[in-house]
Amino acid sequence: MSIRPKHRKGDPLGDGLTALCGGALALNLVLVFALLWVLLVNAAGHFWQKELILFERIDAPPLLGEVHDREPIPAQSDSGVSPGDRVRIRVGNRELSGGDFVWLDLTTVTRESRPDDGVLLERLEWGNFYGTMVELRRGEEVLATGPDRVWSAFQAIHLEKQREFEALHRFEKGQIGDVNYRLERIHSAQRKLEFEQPDPETLGRRSEELDRRKETAEVEFEALTRQLFAMREEFVAETLVMEAADGTRKEMAVGEVVRAVQPNRIGTFSTLSLYASRIKEFLFDAPRESNTEGGIFPAIFGTVMMVFIMSFAVAPFGVLAALYLREYARQGFLVRVLRIAVNNLAGVPSIVFGMFGLGFLVYLIGGSIDQLFYPEVLPRPTFGTGGILWASLTLALLTVPVVIVATEEGLAAVPRIVREGSLALGATKFETTWRVVVPAAAPGILTGLILAMARAAGEVAPLMIVGMVKLAPSLPIDSHFPFFHLERKFMHLGFHIYDLGFQSPNVEATKPLVFATAFLLIAVVTVMNLLAIAVRNHLVNKYATSAV
Amino acid sequence: MSDEVRPATRPEDATRAISPKITDPNLVVRSLSLWYGGSQALHDVSLVIPRNQITAFIGPSGCGKSTLLRCFNRLNDLISTVRIEGDILFEGHSIYDPAEDINALRKRIGMVFQKSNPFPKSIYENIAYGPKIQGVKKKQTLDAIVEKSLRGAALWDEVKDRLGESALSLSGGQQQRLCIARAIAVEPEVILLDEPCSALDPIATTKIEQLMTDLKEQYTLVIVTHNMQQASRISDHTAFLYMGQLIEYQETEKLFINPIMKQTEDYITGRFG
């Protein structure tokens, strides 16, 4: 009896399955790109300067602004024909009109024009101003009148004011900040002295010394403050009179203007450089106006720093635990239970870790540190309140199962024969583990770390209770000893998204920023992952091993 | 070869195998039995391994020859279910003495495995690993050891220009010679080889066999092999194991040309196994 091969036409089931698999992958890719595309499109338009349009109306004052939306007005009940379009205009001038955006029924508009002398001012306070320039003054002295002359006179002064603004900022953060810091140190030293209660002689000597230091610092501080007031006065010396579309006049200091643009006059190149300058501001400046304007640099910084501290905590912790579980513990019932427990830990809702971080890390450990090392400032907490260290450690606990599981798999993939090769040379178990097994498993360990970093960078909920804030006054790293201030509160991109989107006083204006921040969060996570992947590839190349 | 040595009736169920006369013993196995959990893998094996010679273990798969080999450097200790009775003497001392320093023992009795197992490190680091473990720190000494070991394993000329490259970039035969070089870098007295050529092509096998013949000047070699031609080509003595029992142990020439036991004859003539 012979078996004849079955005659078949192709392999429809196999082909179908292949197509299905390919389709699933394609769908995933489409989703990923759609996600990035939606974020990017919504974000990118925000930084692009639109034209200024002046709408003149039948029986209302004219409006000047940027058109952001256009939609047909829904039809009246029976006619079925839409009476026309309406547009959403950003008119700015919040202090005059009360809001940034208005809806305008185009049927009431008699004339649309693009005035050449229409000016957009981005300001430190009160948001954008749209209008025309009327007059430039210094005190009572009039420097220029009329839109064109004011515009050209304004440029030089504005440049000067921007330099002054930088100087002011440096002065406040630098010299005044230093003296402030010194005063604070002296103050806490005094508190400490009171708290310690040494013998009267030492007490007298030291408190006298502190008083003397305090006095010098205060004198210095006063001088600096006077200087600061002088600088501020100079900063607001020149004022600009603007006229809104409805004829209202508004006087403001030139120093208050961040950026002045004549959108209907600038060419493509200027629009592009304006775009670049706005993106730069977004990436590298601190936020203004309760986060609705300015940049998000502190949030980027906080996110990256937190993830790095988290990695430094979770890597040794997770790797050592996995080493014990895989290499040293006797494989049996207990280890199996432990392994299941570790896996389940990965499934615990993150907010629960947040509560644990608050109860254990912040209150118990942080509180104990305060009592041991900073008793003089109590009840004001130092470490006994949320901060970047506790947030990082909370996330380290959250992600440790990921590292343990990945490390265990990396270790398990190192062939037994390689271990035996080392033992057969007279190496001890420890030497074998440390010098052969761990290096061979390093790529696997790094994969775990990459996953942990990605998870940590995106986590928001637990951080809200262990130290993340809407606006942090200073970065966790600065020029004051000990440079890393791990007890400080910090800003985070994930929370910033939530804050911009749901807590903002000016939701419509910040909507594009929500998308931009989300895109940036993805970019930051991607960059950190690429770094880790580069390290891993370097290791794989170095040890090109068949094991992993 | 003479008929007198060969018994007229073959002792099919003999418990003691025939042993050759060995004047200079290096390793002595004394009624060694080994159990993996409940199943016995070695039954009361006794034999003597001569110094500076090549001793081969042959036998069908699962006969216990690798297990026996791994008893010499106590690698079987790694398996928690293993239980051992009997003893092995190395230079007159029991290696199963509780006071025995197992790591020092493994330094003196090196091993080369069936599948080449270079560490995921550079060629240099692979060789220097053992000496470093033994406490050698000076760069010059290490350099000298690496060169000497690689020359000893006839690999120096092929790799001297790329010592910093990963050992896994070498070919299979080169990797196996690297493992031999790694084994001799710690200057052992005995080298155990567990089917060192089973994954190699004939040319690489020839090189390794040549190398083993050279190495026996300095080391005692014990090799497990599936390849009877190989055993007959290179070994001085051959032991045939079957079902965990030592069936016959003879000078290689005698065993292959004139086996005493019927099972041995059946095996080497290809009637089973």
User: Cis omega before residue A379 (within 30°)?
Assistant: yes
CA B98, B103, B108, B111 torsion-angle sign: positive
To 5 degrees, how large is the angle CA A76–CA A77–CA A79? 70
DSSP readout, A356-392? HIIIIIIIIIIHHHHHHH-GGGTTS-SSSS--HHHHH
Least confident range of A200-204, A210-214, A289-293, A306-310: A289-293
| Mean pLDDT, residues B260-271 taken together | 86
| Mean pLDDT, residues B189-214 taken together | 87
**Per the CB < 8 Å rule, is B73 touching A418?**
no
Instruction: Note the residue count of chain A.
Output: 548
Tell the burial category of B263 from Cβ atoms under 10 Å away from its Cβ (0-12, 13-18, 19+).
buried
The pLDDT of residue B3 is above 60: no
Alpha helices by DSSP H, A197-267: 200-235
Least confident range of A39-48, A58-67, B18-27: B18-27
CA distance A414 to chain B (A): 10
Asked whether B260 and B250 are in contact (CB, 8 A), the reply is yes
B180: left (phi > 0), else alpha (psi -120 to 50), else beta? alpha
- In the sheet that holds B82-90, the strands lie side by side as B39-50, B25-36, B82-90, B93-94
Q: What is the pLDDT of residues A493-526, one digit of tens each?
A: 988 998 888 888 777 788 888 999 999 999 988 8
Top-confidence residue, A487 or B145? B145
Cα separation, A366 vs A384, in Å, equals 4
**Per the CB < 8 Å rule, is B117 touching A417?**
yes
Alpha helices by DSSP H, A258-381: 268-284, 297-323, 333-345, 350-356, 367-373
Top-confidence residue, B13 or A115? A115
Tell the burial category of B23 from Cβ atoms under 10 Å away from its Cβ (0-12, 13-18, 19+).
exposed
Cα separation, B29 vs B95, in Å, equals 10
Confidence of residue A31 (pLDDT cuts 50, 70, 90): very high
Q: Which residues pair with A57 in a beta bridge?
A: A109
Complete domains list, chain B, with CATH: 25-268 (3.40.50.300)
**Per the CB < 8 Å rule, is B106 touching A425?**
yes
- Scanning B215-234 for CB atoms below 8 A from A yields none
Instruction: Supply the pLDDT for residue A98.
Output: 80
Query: What is the rounded average pLDDT for all residues in chain A?
Result: 87
The amino acid at A216: T
Cα separation, A62 vs A53, in Å, equals 10
Retrieve residue A491's tokens.
């800003």
Retrieve residue B261's tokens.
């036991």
The pLDDT of residue B6 is above 70: no
On whether ipTM exceeds 0.90, the answer is: no
DSSP state of B134: T
Which three-class secondary structure state does DSSP give residue A444? helix
To 5 degrees, how large is the angle CA A463–CA A468–CA A470? 130
> B245-251 and B237-242: which strand pairing?
antiparallel
Q: In terms of CA atoms, which chain B residue is nearest residue A433?
A: B119
Which long-range CB contacts under 8 A does A528-531 form with residues at least 24 apart? A528/A304, A528/A307, A528/A453, A528/A454, A528/A457, A529/A450, A529/A453, A529/A454
| Most distant CA pair in chain A, distance | 116
Cα separation, B100 vs B98, in Å, equals 5
Top-confidence residue, A367 or B146? B146
Confidence of residue B193 (pLDDT cuts 50, 70, 90): very high
- Could you give the percent of chain A with pLDDT greater than 90? 28
Cα separation, A422 vs A436, in Å, equals 8
Query: What is the rounded average pLDDT for all residues in chain B?
Result: 86
Instruction: Supply the pLDDT for residue A9.
Output: 75
CA distance A437 to chain B (A): 9
Asked whether A500 and A494 are in contact (CB, 8 A), the reply is no
Pick from B144, B146, B102: which is nearest to B121 by CA?
B146
- Could you give the C-alpha distances from B225 to B40, B114, B120, B192, in angstroms and in order? 22, 9, 27, 11
Top-confidence residue, B42 or A476? B42
Helix (H) or strand (E) holding B81: none
**Per the CB < 8 Å rule, is B129 touching A423?**
no
The pLDDT of residue A1 is above 80: no
The pLDDT of residue A166 is above 70: yes
Contacts (Cβ under 8 Å, ≥6 apart) of A158: A254, A257, A260
Asked whether A266 and A274 are in contact (CB, 8 A), the reply is yes
Instruction: Supply the pLDDT for residue B21.
Output: 76
DSSP state of B243: T
Which three-class secondary structure state does DSSP give residue B59? coil
Least confident range of A6-10, A21-25, A128-132, A198-202: A6-10
**Per the CB < 8 Å rule, is A426 touching B186?**
yes
The pLDDT of residue B235 is above 80: yes
Tell the burial category of A291 from Cβ atoms under 10 Å away from its Cβ (0-12, 13-18, 19+).
buried
Q: What is the pLDDT of residues A237-272, one digit of tens each?
A: 889 999 998 888 988 988 889 889 998 888 889 899
Dihedral (C-alpha) A323, A326, A330, A334: value to the nearest 10 degrees? Answer: 100
Pick from B66, B50, B67: which is nearest to B252 by CA?
B50
The pLDDT of residue B5 is above 60: no
CA distance B263 to chain A (A): 32
Residue of B117, B127, B175, B182 to mutate, testing the A interface (most A Cβ within 10 Å of its Cβ): B117
**Per the CB < 8 Å rule, is A545 touching B168?**
yes
Which three-class secondary structure state does DSSP give residue A203? helix
Instruction: Supply the pLDDT for residue A544.
Output: 53
Pick from B193, B224, B199: which is nearest to B60 by CA?
B224
Cα separation, A529 vs A451, in Å, equals 8
Q: What is the pLDDT of residues B8-32, one digit of tens each?
A: 334 444 444 567 777 788 899 999 9
Cα separation, B126 vs B185, in Å, equals 10
Asked whether B32 and B87 are in contact (CB, 8 A), the reply is yes
The pLDDT of residue A217 is above 60: yes
Retrieve residue A361's tokens.
């890390």
Instruction: Supply the pLDDT for residue A27.
Output: 96
Instruction: Supply the pLDDT for residue A328.
Output: 87
Tokens 């427990």 sit on residue: A341
The pLDDT of residue B2 is above 50: no
Cα A498 to chain centroid, rounded: 11
Asked whether A103 and A87 are in contact (CB, 8 A), the reply is yes
> B237-242 and B54-58: which strand pairing?
parallel
**Per the CB < 8 Å rule, is A546 touching B168?**
yes
Cα separation, A283 vs A372, in Å, equals 40
Cα separation, A28 vs A35, in Å, equals 11
Which three-class secondary structure state does DSSP give residue A3? coil
Dihedral (C-alpha) A73, A76, A79, A83: value to the nearest 10 degrees? Answer: -30
Cα separation, A174 vs B40, in Å, equals 80
Cα separation, A285 vs A417, in Å, equals 56
User: Cis omega before residue A482 (within 30°)?
Assistant: yes
- Could you give the C-alpha distances from A188 to A206, A276, A384, B164, in angstroms and in order? 13, 45, 17, 57
| Mean pLDDT, residues B149-178 taken together | 89
Confidence of residue B153 (pLDDT cuts 50, 70, 90): confident
Least confident range of A80-89, B157-166, B188-197, B219-228: A80-89
Cα separation, B109 vs B117, in Å, equals 17
The pLDDT of residue B257 is above 60: yes
Contacts (Cβ under 8 Å, ≥6 apart) of B28: B47, B48, B49, B88, B89
Instruction: Supply the pLDDT for residue B10.
Output: 41
CB pairs under 8 A between A and B: 80
Confidence of residue A548 (pLDDT cuts 50, 70, 90): very low
CA A374, A375, A380, A386 torsion-angle sign: positive
Confidence of residue A185 (pLDDT cuts 50, 70, 90): confident
**Per the CB < 8 Å rule, is A435 touching B168?**
no
Tell the burial category of A247 from Cβ atoms under 10 Å away from its Cβ (0-12, 13-18, 19+).
exposed
Nearest-by-Cβ selection for B113 from A420, A544, A545? A420
Confidence of residue B237 (pLDDT cuts 50, 70, 90): very high
Cα separation, B51 vs B49, in Å, equals 7
CA distance B135 to chain A (A): 11
**Per the CB < 8 Å rule, is A421 touching B73?**
no
Cα separation, A443 vs B130, in Å, equals 24
**Per the CB < 8 Å rule, is A422 touching B115?**
no
Contacts (Cβ under 8 Å, ≥6 apart) of B35: B41, B82, B83, B84
Confidence of residue B272 (pLDDT cuts 50, 70, 90): low
CA distance B194 to chain A (A): 12
Tell the burial category of A377 from Cβ atoms under 10 Å away from its Cβ (0-12, 13-18, 19+).
middle
Residues on chain B touching A543 (C-beta within 8 angstroms):
120-121, 166, 168
Retrieve residue A77's tokens.
């009940």
Pick from A286, A291, A297, A300: which is nearest to A127 by CA?
A291
